[in-house]
Structure 1
């Protein structure tokens, strides 16, 4: 199965899971008198729309290179991630507004059984986070990483709701608002996760070169190619699930242009064969003294 199809299946898994959880959380919050659970359901619903955006981004990013986009359409992926972050911020603002409104409005304490619902949700979301995150690392996908952190933020929101409900139930009269304060704590977690998602996507759009391990692998593999004496500049930029490389390689300065050309192609083919996630590999031959 191709990387793009695997990524799309992962997003569909998240969409179906979030849609189901949004319904469960809302019903449990409505009938169990817990705004923290309703707030949690709002985030899950936003995550469904965010997953749709990620799916669109993955579909677009896998389009092949064309005349106007010689490096492909991979940059669409981090751009979609920005939209996902925007959705998360909107959901956080909505939750915060409603929580503050509820703090000033008397309401009954949550039902005890809502804790069992939350416990199951927390376990499921953490499992989902670990699974999607491992897929994002395997596929080098920033949007899948954002998708994974949605699951983690959802789990943290549910943990905050759990603590708030426990305090509201066992604290007695006057502690009903603990459920609403828990929703505000969840907002802080969501905003922090927004930063964790936004920062690497911004680096990808800005062609930030922080690929230390990949650079070391490229230099090491390059020296195994006959005729390559050493490597100099090595610039890497990420676009979608691919890494584009500009590499300066030193060869014997007495070689002919044809011989240098052949070494460059051998180096290019070797790098692509041994590091499948590489996209464009541009080799610049330097004469060694």
Structure 2
């Protein structure tokens, strides 16, 4: 299975999971008189649309290079990640606004059976987070990683809802607002996770260097190529699921241009064969006079 297929399969899983959970949470929140669960349902609903965006981003970013996009379409993925963060921030804002409004509004205690629903949801969402995060690492996808954090934030909001409902039920009348305070806490956590998802995607767009381990691996592989004495500059930028590399290789100054050209192509082919996640590789030959 290719990296793209792995990512797409994980995204379909997220879409189906979020659709089912949004329905369950919405019904349980309405009939169980829990705004924390209703807030949870709102987040799961936005997660459906964000997962659809991730699916689009993964498919589009893996389109092959063309005349207008010689480096491919990989930058579409962090852009989609920004949109996903926008969905998260929107849902957190709605949850915070509604929960603040409900804190001072008298309402009934949540139903005790909602705790069973929440306990099951917490376990499922944590499993979903671990599964999608594993797939995001396999596929080297920033937008899929953002989608995984949706599952984790959903699990946390469910934990907050579970805590709030438990307090309200245990302490009884006068503590109904514990459910709403739990929803407010959950919105704060979603804001925090939004930043954690946004920051790496911004670094990708800005070509921030975050790939020291990959540089070490590239240098190690390069020295295995006959004719390469050492390496100098090595710049890496990530686009989608691929890393584009600019590498300066040092060769004997007395060889011919043809020989230098052949070494350059051999080095490029070797790097792409040994490190499959590399995309465009540009080799610059430097002479050695030692």
Partner residue in 2 for 1:217: 217
Partner residue in 1 for 2:72: 72
Alignment of 1:10-49 (within 5 A): 10-49=10-49
Rounded to whole Å, the distance in 2 between the matches of 1:59 and 1:137 is 17
Partner residue in 2 for 1:250: 250
Partner residue in 2 for 1:196: 196
SS at match of 1:167: helix
Rounded to whole Å, the distance in 1 between the matches of 2:113 and 2:45 is 22
Rounded to whole Å, the distance in 1 between the matches of 2:171 and 2:70 is 63
Rounded to whole Å, the distance in 2 between the matches of 1:245 and 1:10 is 28
Partner residue in 1 for 2:140: 140
Give me the TM-score of the superposition, normalised by structure 2.
0.99
Alignment of 1:94-243 (within 5 A): 94-243=94-243
Partner residue in 2 for 1:6: 6
Partner residue in 2 for 1:90: 90
SS at match of 1:89: helix
Rounded to whole Å, the distance in 2 between the matches of 1:261 and 1:209 is 28
Deviation digits for residues 149-203 of structure 1 (CA, Å, limit 9, x no counterpart): 0000000000000100010000111110000000000001100110110000001
Moved more, 1-10 or 166-175: 1-10
Partner residue in 2 for 1:60: 60
How many positions carry a matched residue from both structures? 289
Deviation digits for residues 79-121 of structure 1 (CA, Å, limit 9, x no counterpart): 0000010011110111111101111210011111111110100
Name segments (4+ residues, structure 1) moved above 4 Å: none
For residue 2 of structure 1, report the CA deviation from its aligned partner.
Answer: 2.2
Rounded to whole Å, the distance in 2 between the matches of 1:5 and 1:216 is 28
Rounded to whole Å, the distance in 2 between the matches of 1:109 and 1:216 is 59
For residue 3 of structure 1, report the CA deviation from its aligned partner.
Answer: 1.7
For residue 214 of structure 1, report the CA deviation from its aligned partner.
Answer: 0.5
Rounded to whole Å, the distance in 2 between the matches of 1:200 and 1:167 is 37
For residue 6 of structure 1, report the CA deviation from its aligned partner.
Answer: 1.8
For residue 7 of structure 1, report the CA deviation from its aligned partner.
Answer: 1.0
* RMSD of Structure 2 on Structure 1 (CA): 0.7
Rounded to whole Å, the distance in 1 between the matches of 2:217 and 2:2 is 23
Deviation digits for residues 7-56 of structure 1 (CA, Å, limit 9, x no counterpart): 11110100000000000001111111110000000000000010111111
Give me the TM-score of the superposition, normalised by structure 1.
0.99
Structure 1: runs of 5+ lacking an equivalent? none
Deviation digits for residues 108-147 of structure 1 (CA, Å, limit 9, x no counterpart): 1111111111010000000000010011111110000000
SS at match of 1:67: coil
For residue 60 of structure 1, report the CA deviation from its aligned partner.
Answer: 1.0
Rounded to whole Å, the distance in 2 between the matches of 1:27 and 1:121 is 14
For residue 63 of structure 1, report the CA deviation from its aligned partner.
Answer: 1.1
SS at match of 2:282: strand
SS at match of 1:108: coil
SS at match of 1:91: helix
Structure 2: runs of 5+ lacking an equivalent? none
